Structure formats: C-alpha cells, structure tokens
Structure 1
Amino acid sequence: MPDGDVNAHRRIPRPAWDVINQLALRRCTDETHSVRFRRGSEITRWTLAELDQRAVNLARRLHATGVRVADRVGVLSTNRIEWVLLDLAVLKLGGVTVAVEPGRFEPERVIEKYGLRRLFAEGETSRDAVQDIDSVLSLTEPPGTDVPELPAFPGYDEADICQIKQTSGSTGTPRGIETTAVSVNSSISEVQELFRHGDGDNILVLLPLWFLQQRWWFYSALVFGHDVALSGYEDAVEMAQAVSPTVVMGVPRLYDDLRARIRASGAPVDLPERRETIQALLGGRIRYLWTGSAPATRATLEFFNDAEVPLYEGYGLNETCIVAKNHPGAFRLGSVGQVLPNKTIRFDRDGVLVIASHHPVNTRYTWCNPGDNQKVWLPTGEIKTYDLGHVDDDGFLWIHGRVDDVISPSAGPNVLLPPIETLLRGLPGVHECAVYGRAVRFLTAIVSPNPDLDPAVLSDRIVALNETLRPEQRVHAVIVAAEQFSVRNGLLNTQFKLKRRQIEERFARELELVYDKHNGDAAPPVPPVLVFG
C-alpha cells in the first residue's frame, strides 16, 4: 500500500456494544452460565450472577476505604479469581485498573510510579496502600449496613481511561499505556462479530491476566452470556479435561507442546483419529483454538487445521489491540488474517507496517523512556510497528519478522531470521531456537532441546535443510542448551517469546568459541559444528 492518509474517505465504524459500561452499570442476573477456577486442589464454580454480585460487594468496600471515580487500583499477581474480581470492582467504581507483571517492580515503586490509590499484591501484609490479595475473597461477602451502597456513576465516556497496561517493547523496559474505554469496546465488539461467542461456549483463559486481552473473555461472558474458565499455563490440559472448553486462548508454544505431546504418544496418521485425540486431550468440545502474540509454525498450524480442529492465528500489539485475525468466515493458513474494520494499515518506504485505529488505545505512552513515544507514535496518530510484511490480493496480512530480525553478515546479503528459525523448530528434538550471525561469515543457532534430541540426527537434518537454503541463510553451527528455554530461567517472556538479548548474553562464551574457531575458515564448516552449552 502506498503512503498516504489512511483515514481518507472512510466511514468510522462505531463499536457495536458498549461493553465497559454494561459491566460498570448493569447488574448481571445470569444464573445459567458460570466461571470456573481452581482453589487449592478443587475446581470451584460460581454463576455469572454470583461473580458479578461479589464484584459489587468488593466495589462497595473499596469505596468505603476511599477509592473513587478515576482512581487507580493496581493488581500485581499471577492468575487467580481475585484478579478478576478486583478488575470488575474497579470498573463498577468508575476507576482504572493498573495491571502489573509480577517480578517487574517492588510494590512501593508501583504505587509511586502509577499514582495508585491502592495496590493488591501476592504475599504482602496489609500496610499503607499495599494489601495482600489473599484478603480479597473475604471482601466479596455481603457487606453489612455500615457499608454504603455504591454512589451513582454516569458511566465511562469514550475517551475515559479504564485500564493501564504495560508493554515491554524491544528494550525490555516496561512502558505504560493509558487505555481508552472506546478502544476496549471496539476490539471486543469486532471479536464478537467474528466469532459469535454465546450460549454453549466455554472460553478457557490461561495466559496471564495482566495482559488486558485475557480479561476481555470475562467481560464477554458477563455481557454475551457464555461460560468461562480460569487456569494457568502449566495446568492448561488438566483444566481443559475438567471443564471441556469450546475455545482455548493460547500462544504458539502451547500448541507446539500439545503437538509434541500427541506425537510422542504415537501420533495417529489418520486425520479423523488425530482429531479425536486432540479433542480428547482438550475436553472433547473444541470449536476453535486462538493463537497470537508470536508466529506459529506452519507445521503446528497444519497439525490442528488438517485435523479439522481450527487453529486461528492473529496479530496485534499492546498499542493497537487486535489488528488482524483469521476466523471461520475468512481463513488463510500462514497469514494472520484480514485487517479488522476499525483498523487501517499501510507500509512505509522501508516496508515497515504502520497501523491506524479508528478508536485508538491512546496516542502516546504515559510512562516510558525518553524518545520512546517519538519512535512508535507518529504525528498522524499511527503506530509504527517495526514489523515487516505484506498484504495479498485477497486482503490477508502476512508478517515476515521485525526490522531488528534482519542481520547483516560480514559478507553477502542481509538475512531475515524468523523464517530460518521456523524451519529449525520443525526438526526432530528442537523445542525452540534463536539464530545469530551479525557481522560473521555464517549463522549459528542456539537450540532449546526436547528430551529426544539426537545430535547426530539433528546434524544430518540441518545439512539437508541447508541444501534448500541460499548460502547466506545456512546454519553452520549449533549450540545446544543444557535446559529448555523457559519463563523461569529468563529466556522466554511471559508470552513465551524469545528474549534474544538474554539468550545471547547467556551463551556469549559458546558463541565466542564458535566465532573464534571458525570465522576465519575459508569455507563454513560442514557438517555443522555442535557445541553443548
């Protein structure tokens, strides 16, 4: 698409539903649908009416302690029902929920940074504005007459801030974005138009609730009338088998792991049998699977879609919410779907994707490093993504990688790394990988191993793979990590994306050994050098 005014001659679609104000102002009386979550070793079920009433009770108690309209209340916690209750209670007060990723800040620093009226955190003793989140359930019981009813609240205007979310960006330094009510309404409305969640659906939420999109599905349940279940990533399969979801909200790593688990158990060759195996593993009622956040491999997409268990990939940013999404009405495997009606896109002269929103999240970061706003938010109000891609003739968006995924070897053309990493992830024994090679004569892959990794087999398969690649794309050294990349060891972020800088730093010694020994060779080594880190 050429440069130009992305909004010229376009009618701005309005959100179909005012979800935020329905949550804030309406009392849910739905006794049919429920939320399920784990408390200790048991799975607890509340009706949506009970969930909503508990949130009202909590809101009354928060108001009695001084929380008012537009006040900010922080939540610093892993997934638990208290997170959901606090978020809903803050909306009923007309306040602003501030989601904070655990491990990023000390609680007192969060209060200072975001100007919080109160912060709920795990393992905290109640003091000043910091309160132990374990106390929340007791605050959702019916209050006595000494706790006043909630005062009248006219609702959120479209431009009002209802959430603050963090985004790490490429630097890893948390930035804060104040999120408008209309942007949330717009995104949820468009998702509902595409997928029609309703009676009979049960959405399994397992990604961290400090990501705003994960809280949408509780909003959706209360407004559109369907079941919802809350889990953590580690308990996803166990929870799915217990609650039989129709929709799972996941990231590529979840589906890669499910595929590997099924194949290790003796993957059925027959597609109907594969479909039955996938369904049985996930509770037997899957209507579709959702993925985003990072690119899914074609092998994993084909594994589920060929078996008629739809795995729909999409694309979005914290700064934009959902931009494009495959769905039952428009699906092209390998793409991230067609662009949603409330978004417009173009590519600048360098081929970088630029996005405009008719109902923007915001037009700036409120908390960031100097220069961050100018790098991302253009004077036009558009977002510069630093992602590379194209749109095909049918309007499907394809993402090829990021600008900083392009490396410049010491000789030969530039190389885009994600397509090579995707091919390597499909090899036997490879759980995850990151490829490096800036200013050297060949590429080196750092591999996160599966338990079945056989070095000889991996070496042979890379030799065969290299034959299909251009010379500058070929991998001539492999460093095999001693343990898998994970969130716990700091090599994946909480969306299970590679933390490239941390991986490179962790394996700096091994990379130097490879470069020192082989970078001066007349020709890169064949077969590839294997180093065990």
Structure 2
Amino acid sequence: MSQLLKKIQAYSISQPDKTAFKSHLGQISYAELYKQVESLATHLKQTHCAILGIWADNSPQWVITQLAAMSAGINVIPMPIFFSPSQVQHLINSANIELIVLDERLKLAYPQVDFESYTNAQLPLPSGLSAYQKSTHTGSTTNLSTALVTFTSGSTGTPKGVCIDFDLIDQMCSSLHSLTHNLGVQKHLCLLPLAVMLENIAGAFLPLYAGETIVIDSSEITGLRGSSQSDIQQLGLYLSAEQPHSLIVTPELLKLLLLLKQQGQALDYLKLVAVGGGKVPKRLLQQANALNIPVYEGYGLSECGSVVALNTPNATKLGSAGKPLLHCNVKISDSGEILVYGPHMSGYLDEPVSVSDHISTGDLGYIDEDGFLFITGRIKNIQINSFGRNFSPEWIEAEINGLSGVIRSAIFGDGKPYITALIQTIPGVSESQIQQQIQQLNQSLPDYAQIKATLPMSAEVLTNHGLLTANGRIKRETIKHYYAQQIEDCYHSVTI
C-alpha cells in the first residue's frame, strides 16, 4: 500500500470526524472517506479490470474513485474534459481502457466517442456518474507499480501517456509537505481540472497526505468553464464563501485573482497561491506582491510527477521557478538544458520502460548562486535574428502576456531584423492601447528583443483552425504557418 493510502487510513482513526472533502453537496470526514475508498475498491477488484478511466468534472467522488482504484491495484487514466472528441477516442484506444467512470452529461455531449464495446457496470457511485466496462475481456496487462497514466496534449494535439508509479507520488507529496507544512494551510481549493496532474497530486493528494481539507466543486459551481467562458463574479462569490488557504493557478487564473483584488475583493485568507503551467509574466508577480496576494511561481513537467521546483514564503526570488524539491537533483547541461535527476516517470505508455537516471526537459535555464532555478525558454523554440542574436520567445511572450488586456501572444523573428508579435486581446481593448503598452515594454527590453510590428489574433481563428493545444497553449509552428504571409508582409511595411 502506498504511503498516501496508509496516511488516509491512519487519519480515519486519529481524526475520524475531521473534514476531508467539502463541496456544495456536503462534507465527507476522514472516517467516511476511508470507508468509501475501501468499499469501492472491493467492487473494483470484482471487475477484474486492469485499467480504469475517469472522465468527469471535479468532485470528491473523482478523487475517491482514483484512490479506490489505487487501493485495488488498478491503473488510473485521468481523462481531461477539455480534450477534443478525437483526443478522447485516441486516449481510450491507446490506453486500452477497460472500465470508465464518467459523467453522463459528457457522454451525451460527445456523441462522436465510440462506447459500443462497453456495457453498464454496477458500482456504488453517486447520481450523475456511471460506470461502463468492456463487454469482452481484452486481456490488458498492467505494471503493478504504476498508479496513474497522465496524458499530455502536447503541441501536436495527439495525447501521450506518461506512466507515474506509487513511489513517485509518495515522494512528491513528502517533498511538497516538507515545504508547506508550516504555512498554516488547512484548506485547499481545487480550481484546475483534477485530470491535470499538478492539481491531482499537489491539489488533491497533498492535503490528504497532510490530513487537511480539500474543497472540490465542478466548473459550474466555481465559474471556471474554460478560458473564454470564465465568470469572474461567480468565482469571486465562490472564493468568498469558501475562503481557502491555498490555490493552484495558471497565469490566466492569476489575472482573474488580480482583477478580483483590484475590484475590492478581500483575499487575505490566502496563504499560498502556487502558479505554474507556463512562464509567468514578471509584472503579474509584481502586481500580486503589490496587492499582498501570496503568489509563488513553480516549475515542473508530467515526466517528473508535476513539480520540480517551487518558490515558498520561506525561500523566494522573483522571476525564478524556486528551489528544486528535496527529491529532485537539478543540473544544467553544457548546452544550457535543464536535467532532472531522481525519481521520475517509469516511461511512456506502450514504449520501452525508461532506464535513464534523469529526464532531459527540453527547457533552457540556469541555477543562480543561491540555488534558485530560472527558466529561459525551450531548446526547440530558440530563434536567431539576422544580426546573429539568439533569443527564447517564451521570455518575450511572457512580458507581452503580462500587459493589460492581453490574453496570449506568439512572437517570430527567426532570420529577421526584428520581432513581430501576434497578440490576442480581450474584447474592447483597442490597437492604440496595445501599441502604447508595447512601446513602454520596449524601453525595458534589449534592442534585439524589442517588438517592432504587431498583428492581431482572434479567438475564432485560434479555435477554428486548431492553433491552440487542448489546454490553451499556442501551437507555435501551426500559428507561424497560418499567419506566414501576414508576418512576411510586416517586414515590407515597417521601417526601423
């Protein structure tokens, strides 16, 4: 049994009445949590399935199902609700999922996903959730040490399964707990989808490992229905009602928190807001500090169990990704690539088991004299202008994304005399407002990194032409190809 499950069992005895889960439907104590996990685990063993998928919005039952599968020795496949129908189908087929616990509304909303080979399975699940099992046993085999297989959407749109074992989950929880146990965090609120491993391990497993409380509700309750459909007023009311001590957010969610604070909402109950999932604009961190929001940037990747480094109130440096966790040994290669030694994934699904002693991240960075890790870009994205100067687009894009009214950006200047930026803004922001901010930004950038031309990107084009990954990151080469002519025209119309 994993250390996480052992701790939940121990808490069910030492603090049986303490709240483990809180949602709009009610509360679940540690004693009830352990009882539900063991009951469902017994039923799952009777299915004789090796691989289970969970396809549903956030809820306590999501985590209970995952824990029960872990207790039963069944691999768990979190199925992101933000995946496209083709990605969901690819995930089901490539992982050979034998049993799926799902929200019936998702099944109805995705008629393209083929469930013909599945029949209803009887499991003790709450209303709204159902279980479907393959009608014929496929003879799936599973690595007994694997606890979950998390799929990343990547830049190509084809999900890739990363195999994570029990030991890595336990070491991740132990390292994070050693950094956060003295911060007074007794209630964490899950805002990111539980299918995202960062929220799954650091947001759900870590509080249970520490014996604290998790608040989990669906996106309908939180108001976060996607990057373009977020209801900031509903989010504000939800936060005020729950008053969590900690959150995990993306840079986009951080912008919403800043806006709520600027509108006068009190957020003084927050003790730790960990931000990750992409390069964080430095000015966003500065704004958070000025507004007394305890925001701390981190860095990680699925192959390393989600978190590699993290700033904390006890050790922080603005602009860095923090210091590496205790179980990680981070080194920088001669070419500047970040290498992570220590426990990591056991391999990719359907590929040979990883035998390397480290993960080559593909990220560029350095470690300063105080031991803080700085991320400067991606190896494959490095561009060289016509004057021979190298630059990482992620750094400049992070600065642009920190401007007021900017949603996302993509910059290009490989082989060119200057940089052109494609920028998506929120509705109502004028071109003159953006240009004024770009001019101010250029004053803080070296000459080779300054933006001399801009082009607009619309939400409709980005969505309809597949220019973003499933979780909203830019597909750089796809964007470059789509806007190729307009980008080229900029170099004939702008005089420098």
Band the TM-score falls in, shorter-chain normalisation: 0.7 to 0.9
- Structure 2 residue 92 is the aligned partner of structure 1 residue 118: no
Amino acid at match of 1:113: S
Amino acid at match of 2:296: Y
- Structure 2 residue 210 is the aligned partner of structure 1 residue 227: no
- Structure 2 residue 16 is the aligned partner of structure 1 residue 30: yes
The structure 1 residue matched to 2:414, chosen from 410, 431, 438, is 438
Q: TM-score, normalised by structure 1?
A: 0.76
Amino acid at match of 2:485: E
2:247 corresponds to: 248
- Structure 2 residue 79 is the aligned partner of structure 1 residue 97: no
Written as runs of structure 1 = structure 2, the 5 A alignment for 1:377-392 is: 380-392=356-368
1:52 corresponds to: 34
Comparing 122-131 and 235-244, the one that deviates more? 122-131
1:295 corresponds to: 279
- Structure 2 residue 166 is the aligned partner of structure 1 residue 166: no
The structure 2 residue matched to 1:519, chosen from 469, 486, 491, is 491
- 8 Å Cα contact 1:205/1:249 also seen in 2: yes
* Distance in 2 separating the partners of 1:493 and 1:239: 28
Shift of 1:61: 2.6
Amino acid at match of 2:283: A
- 8 Å Cα contact 2:185/2:271 also seen in 1: no
- Structure 2 residue 432 is the aligned partner of structure 1 residue 456: yes
% same residue: 23
- 8 Å Cα contact 1:122/1:132 also seen in 2: no
1:19 corresponds to: 4
The structure 1 residue matched to 2:381, chosen from 400, 405, 409, is 405
| Compared CA separation, residues 21 and 300, structure 1 to 2 (3 A) | same
1:7 corresponds to: none
* Distance in 2 separating the partners of 1:182 and 1:32: 27
Written as runs of structure 1 = structure 2, the 5 A alignment for 1:97-496 is: 97-102=76-81, 103-104=83-84, 105=86, 110-123=91-104, 124=107, 128-129=117-118, 136-137=125-126, 160-196=145-181, 201-216=186-201, 217-231=203-217, 232=219, 233=224, 234=230, 236-263=235-262, 265=263, 277=264, 280=266, 282=267, 284-321=268-305, 322-357=307-342, 359-362=343-346, 364-367=347-350, 380-483=356-459, 492-493=468-469, 495-496=471-472
Q: TM-score, normalised by structure 2?
A: 0.81
1:85 corresponds to: 64
| Compared CA separation, residues 255 and 133, structure 1 to 2 (3 A) | farther
Comparing 27-36 and 237-246, the one that deviates more? 27-36
Per-residue Cα deviation, 1:446-498 (whole angstroms, up to 9, x for no partner)? 11112342322322332343354444322222112334898899555455433
- 8 Å Cα contact 1:58/1:139 also seen in 2: no
* Distance in 1 separating the partners of 2:9 and 2:18: 21
- 8 Å Cα contact 1:23/1:219 also seen in 2: no
Shift of 1:305: 2.4
Per-residue Cα deviation, 1:57-100 (whole angstroms, up to 9, x for no partner)? 32233233334xxx211112332333222112212212221122
Query: Which protein shows a greater Rg?
Result: 1
Shift of 1:205: 0.7
* Distance in 2 separating the partners of 1:453 and 1:134: 51
1:274 corresponds to: none
Shift of 1:260: 3.7
- 8 Å Cα contact 2:310/2:324 also seen in 1: yes
Give the ranges of 4+ consecutive aligned residues of structure 1 lying more than 6 Å apart after TM superposition. 132-135, 197-200, 484-489
Shift of 1:353: 0.9
| Compared CA separation, residues 466 and 308, structure 1 to 2 (3 A) | closer
- Structure 2 residue 44 is the aligned partner of structure 1 residue 72: no
Amino acid at match of 1:335: S
- 8 Å Cα contact 1:313/1:337 also seen in 2: yes
Amino acid at match of 2:294: P
SS in structure 2 opposite 1:194? helix
Per-residue Cα deviation, 1:261-282 (whole angstroms, up to 9, x for no partner)? 544x4xxxxxxxxxxx45x2x4
- 8 Å Cα contact 1:36/1:45 also seen in 2: yes
**Structure 2 portions without partners, runs of 5+:** 109-114, 130-142, 225-229
Shift of 1:411: 4.4
Comparing 130-139 and 105-114, the one that deviates more? 130-139
- 8 Å Cα contact 1:20/1:185 also seen in 2: no
- 8 Å Cα contact 2:51/2:97 also seen in 1: yes
* Distance in 1 separating the partners of 2:336 and 2:279: 19
- 8 Å Cα contact 1:36/1:230 also seen in 2: yes
Shift of 1:228: 0.7
- 8 Å Cα contact 1:81/1:230 also seen in 2: yes
* Distance in 2 separating the partners of 1:83 and 1:285: 26
The two structures, once aligned, show a CA RMSD in angstroms of 3.5
Give the count of matched residue pairs. Answer: 458
SS in structure 1 opposite 2:287? helix
| Compared CA separation, residues 236 and 215, structure 1 to 2 (3 A) | farther
SS in structure 2 opposite 1:176? strand
SS in structure 1 opposite 2:101? strand
* Distance in 2 separating the partners of 1:405 and 1:328: 32
**Structure 1 portions without partners, runs of 5+:** 1-16, 141-156, 266-276, 527-533
1:147 corresponds to: none
Shift of 1:504: 3.6
SS in structure 2 opposite 1:330? coil
SS in structure 2 opposite 1:519? helix
Amino acid at match of 1:114: A
- 8 Å Cα contact 1:246/1:287 also seen in 2: yes
Per-residue Cα deviation, 1:392-414 (whole angstroms, up to 9, x for no partner)? 11101111111133113344422
| Compared CA separation, residues 310 and 481, structure 1 to 2 (3 A) | same
